[in-house]
C-alpha cells in the first residue's frame, strides 16, 4: 500500500505525519524537524517510541531529505503517492483543499503579505516537496478555507466597499483544527454538532470559532493572524490608532510587524515568556497579570460569539493550552453561568473530556490538523485515480 506524507512547514520547523494511502488514512508515524538552521534535530514518534536525532545544518529541502532517510525503515519500500501541505492562506475564494499546480503556487505566493510569518515558510515546504517527490500528487489544505461561508457582516470591515472587493476582509484561521473538531463532534456528539458550538483553539496561536451545524459563521481572527485573542507572542485585538501612533513616533513597518507578531502577547505582557506552562508555575505578579488578561479576553470572546450565534449549545476547548491548562479554562469560565456554562472543578482539574456541571456541555477535545491534511491528500488520490488508493 502506498503512503501519504503530510507537511506543516514553519520558519524553524516542519511538522510531519506519515499515513497509509487509504480513504481513511492510518497514521504510521508523526513528529517534526526542529530548529531548522545550524543545529536542526529530527523527532520521530512511531509505535509508541520517540526518537530524537541531531541532523546538523538544515533548511527545508535538506531537512526533508533527512526526514525521508529516517522514515525509510517505516516506509519499507512503499512509495509516497501524495504529499499534503498545510497552507495558512488561501485568499477569498478557495473554500477547500486544492491540488497544487505551478499556477496555484504562484497565486499563493501573492498572499504572503497577508500571512508574513506563515505563508512563505509553508510554500518553502511545498517547493521542497515538489522537488523531492516529482511523481506524487501534491495537495494544499488551507486554514482560511473552513471560514469561507461566513455571513457578509462577519466577513467585512466598515471600510469603503472597494477594499472588501480588493480582498481586505475577515478571513479567519486555524481552519484545519476547527474542521477536525467539527468532524469529531459529528461522530461522537451528533446532537451537539447540529447546534450552536463555540470552539476555542488555544495554543501559541489562539482563536475561537462559532459554528452552527458544523459550519463556521464567525471567528475571532480577521484579516491577519493577529486579531482577537492575545497569543504567545502576538498582540491580539488592538485599536488601529495604536499602529498610527507608533508610525507617527517613527517606527517602521518592519519594526511594528516585529512588535505585533513576536514581542507582544503573553511574552510582552509578562516580560518573562510566551509559554503558558511557565507562567502558570511562576510567582511573578507580571505572570499573573498576563494570565488574567488572557483569560479575560477569552471570556469576552466566548460571550461575543455566543451573541453571534444567538445562544450556545456547547463549548469545546482544544489546542495545547485548551487541552492541558485547567486553570486557564477555570478562570475564563468564571461568571459565565448566565450562558449556562458552569464548570465541574474536580473534572476540570482531572483533565476529563467532559468538564461541565451546568446545562451547556463543556468538552475538552484533542485536535489533529495533520489528519485533516492526510484526508485531503487521500481524497485527491481517489479523485485522480477514480478508485480508492491502494
Identify the burial level of 245 via C-beta atoms within 10 angstroms of its C-beta, where 0-12 means exposed, 13-18 middle and 19 or more buried. Answer: exposed
Q: Please give the Cα distance from 275 to 292 (Å, whole number).
A: 15
Grid coordinates belonging to 147:
471560514
Q: Please give the Cα distance from 127 to 90 (Å, whole number).
A: 17
Asked if 222 and 171 touch (Cβ cutoff 8 Å), the reply is yes
Residues with catalytic function: 143
Query: Which residues, 6 or more positions from 194, have their beta carbon under 8 angstroms from its beta carbon?
Result: 213, 214
DSSP state letter for 298: H
Measured N-to-C along each axis, helices 119-132 and 102-110 cross at an angle, to the nearest 10 degrees, of: 160
Inter-CA distances, 160 with 10, 79, 152, 153, 241, Å:
34, 52, 14, 14, 18
**Residue 328 — φ and ψ, nearest 5°?**
-65, -45
CA atoms within 13 A of residue 172's CA, in its CB half-sphere: 30
Q: Please give the Cα distance from 264 to 231 (Å, whole number).
A: 8
Pick the closest to residue 31 from 66, 2, 77 (CA basis).
66
Pairing of strands 3-9, 27-34: unpaired
Amino acid at each position: 500500500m502506498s503512503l501519504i506524507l503530510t507537511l506543516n512547514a514553519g520558519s524553524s520547523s516542519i511538522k510531519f505525519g506519515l499515513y497509509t494511502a487509504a480513504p481513511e488514512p492510518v497514521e504510521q508515524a508523526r513528529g517534526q524537524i526542529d530548529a531548522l538552521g545550524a543545529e536542526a534535530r529530527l523527532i520521530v514518534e512511531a509505535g509508541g517510541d520517540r526518537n530524537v536525532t541531531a541532523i546538523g545544518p538544515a533548511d527545508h529541502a535538506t531537512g526533508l531529505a533527512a526526514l525521508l532517510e529516517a522514515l525509510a525503515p517505516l516506509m519499507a519500500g512503499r512509495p509516497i503517492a501524495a504529499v499534503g501541505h498545510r497552507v495558512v492562506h488561501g485568499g477569498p475564494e478557495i473554500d477547500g483543499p486544492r491540488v497544487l499546480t505551478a499556477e496555484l503556487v504562484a497565486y499563493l505566493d501573492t498572499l504572503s503579505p497577508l500571512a508574513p510569518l506563515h505563508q512563505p515558510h509553508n510554500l518553502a515546504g511545498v517547493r521542497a516537496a515538489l522537488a523531492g517527490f516529482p511523481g506524487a500528487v501534491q495537495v494544499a489544505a488551507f486554514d482560511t478555507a473552513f471560514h469561507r461561508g461566513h455571513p457578509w457582516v462577519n466577513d467585512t470591515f466598515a471600510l469603503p466597499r472597494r477594499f472588501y472587493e480588493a480582498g481586505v476582509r475577515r478571513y479567519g484561521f486555524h481552519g484545519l483544527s476547527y474542521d477536525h473538531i467539527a468532524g469529531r463532534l459529528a461522530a461522537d456528539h451528533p446532537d451537539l454538532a447540529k447546534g450552536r458550538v463555540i470552539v476555542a483553539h488555544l495554543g501559541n496561536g489562539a482563536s475561537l470559532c462559532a459554528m452552527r451545524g458544523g459550519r463556521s459563521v464567525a471567528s475571532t481572527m480577521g484579516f491577519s493572524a493577529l486579531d482577537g485573542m492575545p497569543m504567545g507572542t502576538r498582540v491580539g485585538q488592538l485599536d488601529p490608532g495604536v499602529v498610527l501612533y507608533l508610525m507617527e513616533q517613527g517606527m517602521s513597518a518592519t519594526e511594528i510587524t516585529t512588535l505585533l507578531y513576536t514581542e507582544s502577547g503573553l511574552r510582552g505582557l509578562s516580560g518573562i515568556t510566551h509559554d503558558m506552562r511557565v507562567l502558570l508555575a511562576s510567582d511573578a505578579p507580571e505572570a499573573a497579570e498576563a494570565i488574567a488578561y488572557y483569560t479575560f479576553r477569552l471570556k469576552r470572546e466566548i460571550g461575543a460569539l455566543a451573541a453571534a450565534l444567538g445562544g450556545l449549545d456547547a463549548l469545546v476547548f482544544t489546542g495545547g493550552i485548551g487541552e492541558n491548562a485547567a486553570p486557564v479554562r477555570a478562570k475564563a469560565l468564571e461568571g459565565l453561568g448566565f450562558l449556562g456554562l458552569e464548570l465541574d472543578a474536580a473534572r476540570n482539574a482531572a483533565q476529563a473530556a467532559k468538564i461541565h456541571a451546568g446545562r451547556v456541555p463543556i468538552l475538552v477535545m484533542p485536535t489533529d490538523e495533520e489528519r485533516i491534511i492526510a484526508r485531503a491528500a487521500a481524497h485527491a488520490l481517489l479523485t485522480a485515480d477514480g478508485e480508492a488508493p491502494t
